[in-house]
Chains A and B, each alone.
Chain A
């Protein structure tokens, strides 16, 4: 069954434009930059990130979390009014259908999500990941919903980078694999699964010295920052490379990690 998207309803398409949320907020409508106020920006960003209609009540509760529902609903009404005067049709508020971003506005978060999902689901594209793969969602914004989405997207970025590393490595494209793994490691130096993917790619390329150096760097950073030792998953990867002896009898480990 093909699901009918919200845009199949008899709603005018609204303006065309681009919404950039990775690396900072930037809205362009018909080629021109638009600068909404802070509250309006939040509503635009939220509808862009979720990519599906939100009920007014939910939207108001997210944006004005310490305000009584009745007053929050009033503030949302006036914000939507201001927004509609700034860019008519940008944020659709069809009666009963919830609040949503106009279908003609492309949001970079949904591009990132579809790239990451197709990589994770095994469909590629197996090319070196672009800048969106390491960009931070709305840097400087510290609303709770931004923190949660930022973390969700970060996990998605890291997972896609790790899968890319392993896939490129398996295809014998060692340099691209190492570059993708390096990106993940730079994004989160203390993340073991990224380090593991990179080490495996280096090992597959025959760069055992580099693999050993990655391991030492990681072990040292983890000890310094958290006082912890690498997990059994990583020990097993190192043992398989023949770089270090396996230090324990941890058996219950998947090679993938």
Chain B
């Protein structure tokens, strides 16, 4: 599968390898200088928030987001203690400036690689960027804060767009098997999204697998009816109409 490439930012600003690797897709995993680190919950949340934003954040914003239910003073205290915990884990994880916080430069984040890979697929159709691991996992499953949910949904849409685009390009390039695989990954990610089912049906038809196209269409129509009481759109029906002459 695709090997890891440095983020653009990493390549431009740093020659040295990342000191820490932060994984947020599929769950929180942190490695500092080659060793697994397990900071306490509040410190994990702080690090994840800084990683997902990427830019400098004011202390007030961070405290208000993470400790929604506390008053300002207590939230500021919780933030100080979480920061202290992160520094104990590794002093380079967070950069603090007067009144603001930022993720350390030498922390690599898997979400950034997913975003960059999705962009390259969208912009250049470079389908070799479709790293299975990167594209299959949700952001921080088991975390329910609003700032995580919003980001999880955004990343899911990004993945779906990239997978559908990749499937389209692969059909054009005549690699129908790989197109079916990319489209199936999209369907798996969001089972009722019609654009994903459509590109899958198109890939089957393009590869001459008419029966598979029809079966996929019927499966989609059934799910849609059972789950939402809806029928496939006219775009989908037009796609399979030539296969349903009898």
Contacts and interface: CB of A to CB of B under 8 A. Distances in A.
Interface string A191-206: 1110010000000000
Interface of B: 1, 4, 21, 23, 26-29, 31, 36, 38, 41, 44, 108, 110, 132-133, 136-138, 141-144, 174-177, 180-181, 184, 187-188, 191, 207-212, 214-216, 219, 222-223, 226-227, 243, 245-246
Contacts of A75: none
Contacts of A120: 177, 181
A98 B26 CA distance: 9
A98 B4 CA distance: 25
A251 to B, nearest CB: 12
Nearest to A10: B38
Given A55-B144, A95-B142, A97-B142, 18 more contacts: A4-B29, A4-B31, A8-B29, A9-B29, A9-B36, A10-B38, A52-B136, A54-B141, A55-B138, A57-B144, A96-B41, A98-B27, A151-B215, A151-B216, A192-B207, A192-B208, A225-B211, A256-B177
Nearest to B45: A96
Given A159-B177, A159-B180, A58 B138 contact: yes
Nearest to B245: A227
Nearest to B6: A1
B23 A226 contact: no
A98 B24 CA distance: 12
Contacts of A162: 177
Contacts of A156: 181
27 contacts: A1-B21, A3-B23, A8-B36, A9-B38, A52-B136, A55-B142, A96-B41, A96-B142, A99-B142, A147-B223, A149-B188, A151-B216, A152-B184, A152-B187, A156-B181, A190-B210, A191-B211, A192-B210, A193-B176, A193-B209, A227-B246, A228-B210, A233-B207, A253-B174, A254-B175, A256-B174, A256-B177
A3 B176 contact: no
Interface of A: 1, 3-4, 6, 8-10, 52-58, 65, 95-99, 117, 120-121, 144-145, 147-149, 151-152, 155-156, 159, 162-163, 188, 190-193, 196, 222, 225-228, 230-234, 253-254, 256-257
Contacts of A147: 219, 222-223
Given A96-B143, A98-B27, A193-B176, A231 B210 contact: yes
Given A144-B191, A233-B208, A52 B28 contact: no
Closest 3 CB pairs of A and B: A231-B208, A190-B211, A98-B141
A98 B214 CA distance: 36
Nearest to A158: B212
A197 B29 CA distance: 44
Contact of B180 (A3, A98, A155): A155
Contact of A226 (B137, B219, B243): B243
B210 A4 contact: no
A248 to B, nearest CB: 14
Chain B CB within 10 A, most for which of A3, A52, A95: A3
A120 B108 CA distance: 31
B184 A145 contact: no
Contacts of A191: 209, 211-212
A253 B176 CA distance: 11
B15 to A, nearest CB: 16
Contacts of A4: 21, 23, 29, 31, 36
A194 to B, nearest CB: 9
Contact of B28 (A3, A55, A96): A96
A175 B72 CA distance: 75
Contacts of B136: 52
Contacts of B223: 144, 147-148
